[in-house]
Amino acid sequence: DEPQIRAVLAAVPGVTAVEAGEGEGPGTLGFRLRYTVEDPRRAIFEAVVKSGLVLLEVRRQKVSLEETFRKLTATAAPRAAA
């Protein structure tokens, strides 16, 4: 169940956020994880296996500086003109 999986993923050292993502079809769930500098894929795999869950895929996605800037400026509140 989703809350259990989120808890397992959030408990992995270095993981700072667990967000909903797209699953691959019926009966699957997808998540996006944010993490510190250390690559947590091995620890994620081990935690999932230890919990008796099935992991279909782990993919690392780097965000470009441009994408980060776009996200930051899109969510910033407009400032009132003086």
Q: Across-strand partners of 20?
A: 31
**So what's the pLDDT on residue 65?**
78
- 35-42 long-range Cβ contacts below 8 angstroms, 24+ apart: 38/13, 38/14, 40/12, 40/13, 40/14, 40/15
1-50 tens-digit pLDDT: 899 999 999 999 999 999 998 888 898 999 999 998 788 999 999 999 99
Sequence-separated (6 or more) residues with CB below 8 Å from residue 53:
5, 8
**So what's the pLDDT on residue 25?**
87
The model's confidence at residue 71, banded by pLDDT at 50, 70 and 90, is confident
48-64 tens-digit pLDDT: 999 999 998 888 877 77
**So what's the pLDDT on residue 82?**
56
User: Which three-class secondary structure state does DSSP give residue 52?
Assistant: coil
